């Protein structure tokens, strides 16, 4: 029997669907907070832009530091236990926002919310890697990531609407309730670990270091783009960047749904190289062709790179990793998200302040190109899937 005639192992099982719904509920809870926390700081707490930055950024600090610990715990205690702890900490801390009468207290609570993020995210993405057949892992990661995009697409407008119509207390209750729903669903997913010993005791898993650097190079530019394209669009005479951000998100969603199997077919390393090439090219187009057509074209190319990149990089990280060490790998790789989301906009801003915003995009392209150079050196790869 030919390889193309062999039936593919099943991916979308009831357990996989439950996990996706749990992730959707969690990311909705997270998305509700995106506009609400800055509004709370500048409104009831009478803070300024510095206060907003500290309150928002403190979340990423604790998430960054705790992700490796969450990964180790997921390998030892189970993925659902880690999601349970993360969701409960998230829900309890957000419920406490109602009692935050100062920015300092809100920052403490935001640090706890980041702890919840670290544990729930790492537990969920590790459980997903357990449930995905090796030859369909890229497809699984692509489909799983749709929960994140859907939650972060729906959550912010809901948060803004509720703040305007009812108030902040209701927003915190909605977010906490969604996180508790995620916990209930995560418990029903159950333990997804495969039998086998936990061999690695290191916080930073060596197999994840290079993939983490690749993810850092990719998300760095995306983070700068998302932070500054609204301002750059105004520089070019547009009334706003809403249609650009919508188009960017649409490209990612289409490729990760309709084209979910692309990373599996191309292979992890080839997909990573194509991703970083597109990301670097898109940023160069935006930064060098300083007109609306260049901005539109560059955004489309960057969207393709981002869509392909994360699934392929996680495939690369998980290649030949024992089942008992997947949590440690995911904990290490996901640290890059927090670093990139902080460093990308910060460095972009420094370059833009010294030169201009177009140069900020070119600087971000250099980071993506450095990731491409690293990927070009060659690493263990997952084989392309035929059929």
> Quick one: pLDDT at residue 238?
82
Tens of pLDDT, residue by residue over 201-210, are 567 788 888 9
In this model, does residue 382 exceed pLDDT 50? no
> Quick one: pLDDT at residue 5?
44
Confirm if 302 and 282 have CB atoms less than 8 A apart: yes
With respect to residue 66, please indicate whether it lies within any of the assigned structural domains: yes
With respect to residue 197, please indicate whether it lies within any of the assigned structural domains: no
Whether residues 130 and 251 share a domain: the answer is no
Whether residues 282 and 178 share a domain: the answer is no
Whether residues 317 and 346 share a domain: the answer is yes
What CA–CA distance (Å, rounded) separates 368 from 272? 11
What CA–CA distance (Å, rounded) separates 99 from 234? 38
With respect to residue 385, please indicate whether it lies within any of the assigned structural domains: no
Whether residues 305 and 230 share a domain: the answer is yes
Following CA atoms 234, 221, 150, 114 in sequence, which dihedral angle do they give, to the nearest 10 degrees?
A: -110
Following CA atoms 333, 337, 340, 343 in sequence, which dihedral angle do they give, to the nearest 10 degrees?
A: -110
* Alpha-carbon Rg for the chain in angstroms: 20
Whether residues 37 and 122 share a domain: the answer is yes
Q: Averaged over 353-375, what is the pLDDT?
A: 91
Whether residues 244 and 298 share a domain: the answer is yes
With respect to residue 301, please indicate whether it lies within any of the assigned structural domains: yes
CATH of the domain at 125: 1.20.1250.20
Q: How far is CA 287 from the centre of its chain?
A: 24
Whether residues 221 and 305 share a domain: the answer is yes
Domain boundary among 145, 160, 189: 189
What CA–CA distance (Å, rounded) separates 88 from 55? 20
In this model, does residue 99 exceed pLDDT 90? yes
Residue 322 burial (C-beta neighbours within 10 Å; 0-12, 13-18, 19+): middle
Residues comprising the chain, all counted? 387
Confirm whether pTM is higher than 0.85.
no
Whether residues 244 and 181 share a domain: the answer is no
Q: How far is CA 348 from the centre of its chain?
A: 19
Whether residues 217 and 361 share a domain: the answer is yes
With respect to residue 168, please indicate whether it lies within any of the assigned structural domains: yes
Whether residues 80 and 180 share a domain: the answer is yes
| Domain hosting residue 296, numbered range | 206-376
Domain boundary among 189, 215, 250: 189
> Quick one: pLDDT at residue 379?
58
Whether residues 265 and 136 share a domain: the answer is no
Our count of domains for the chain comes to: 2
Question: Among 21-35, 121-135, 211-225, 340-354, which stretch is predicted with the lowest mean pLDDT?
Answer: 340-354
Tens of pLDDT, residue by residue over 27-55, are 999 988 888 888 888 888 888 767 777 88
How large is the angle between the packed helices 14-42 and 79-95, nearest 10 degrees? 20
Please calculate the CA angle 339-224-216 and round it to the nearest 5 degrees: 35
Q: Find the largest Cα–Cα distance for the chain.
A: 70
Confidence of residue 343 (pLDDT cuts 50, 70, 90): confident
With respect to residue 369, please indicate whether it lies within any of the assigned structural domains: yes
Following CA atoms 77, 80, 86, 89 in sequence, which dihedral angle do they give, to the nearest 10 degrees?
A: -100
Tens of pLDDT, residue by residue over 235-275, are 888 877 778 878 888 888 889 888 888 888 888 889 999 99
What CA–CA distance (Å, rounded) separates 194 from 325? 11
Confidence of residue 199 (pLDDT cuts 50, 70, 90): low
Domain boundary among 189, 215, 233: 189
With respect to residue 198, please indicate whether it lies within any of the assigned structural domains: no
With respect to residue 22, please indicate whether it lies within any of the assigned structural domains: yes
Whether residues 142 and 290 share a domain: the answer is no
Residue 4 burial (C-beta neighbours within 10 Å; 0-12, 13-18, 19+): exposed
């Amino acid at each position: 029997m030919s390889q193309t005639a062999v039936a593919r192992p099943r991916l979308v099982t009831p357990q996989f669907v439950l996990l996706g719904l749990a992730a959707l509920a969690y990311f909705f809870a997270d998305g509700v907070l995106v506009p609400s926390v800055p509004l709370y700081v500048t409104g009831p707490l009478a803070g300024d832009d510095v206060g907003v930055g500290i309150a928002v950024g403190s979340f990423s600090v604790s998430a960054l530091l705790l992700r490796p610990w969450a990964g180790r715990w997921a390998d030892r205690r189970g993925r659902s236990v880690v999601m349970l702890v993360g969701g409960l900490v998230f829900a309890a801390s957000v419920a406490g926002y109602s009692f935050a009468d100062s920015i300092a207290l809100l920052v403490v609570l935001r640090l706890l919310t980041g702890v919840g993020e670290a544990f729930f995210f790492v537990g969920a993405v590790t459980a997903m890697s357990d449930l995905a057949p090796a030859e369909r892992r890229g497809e699984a990661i692509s489909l799983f990531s749709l929960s994140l995009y859907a939650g972060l697409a729906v959550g912010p407008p809901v948060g803004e609407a509720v703040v305007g119509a009812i108030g902040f207390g209701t927003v915190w209750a909605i977010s906490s309730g969604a996180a508790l729903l995620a916990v209930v669903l995560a418990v029903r997913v159950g333990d997804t670990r495969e039998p086998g010993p936990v061999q690695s005791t290191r916080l930073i898993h060596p197999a994840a270091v290079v993939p983490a650097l690749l993810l850092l190079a990719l998300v760095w530019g995306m983070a700068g783009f998302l932070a500054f394209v609204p301002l750059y669009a105004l520089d070019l005479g547009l009334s706003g960047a809403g249609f650009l951000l919508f188009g960017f998100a649409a490209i990612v969603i289409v490729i990760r749904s309709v084209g979910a199997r692309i990373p599996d077919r191309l292979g992890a390393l080839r997909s990573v190289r194509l991703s970083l090439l597109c990301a670097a090219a898109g940023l160069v187009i935006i930064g060098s062709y300083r007109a609306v057509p260049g901005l539109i074209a560059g955004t489309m190319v960057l969207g393709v790179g981002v869509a392909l990149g994360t699934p392929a990089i996680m495939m690369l990280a998980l290649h030949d990793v024992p089942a008992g060490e997947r949590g440690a790998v995911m904990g290490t790789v996901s640290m890059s998200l927090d670093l990139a989301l902080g460093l990308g906009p910060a460095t972009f801003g420094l370059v833009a302040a010294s030169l201009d915003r177009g140069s900020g995009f070119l600087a971000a392209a250099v980071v993506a190109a450095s990731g491409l150079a690293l990927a070009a050196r060659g690493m263990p790869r997952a084989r392309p899937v035929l059929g």
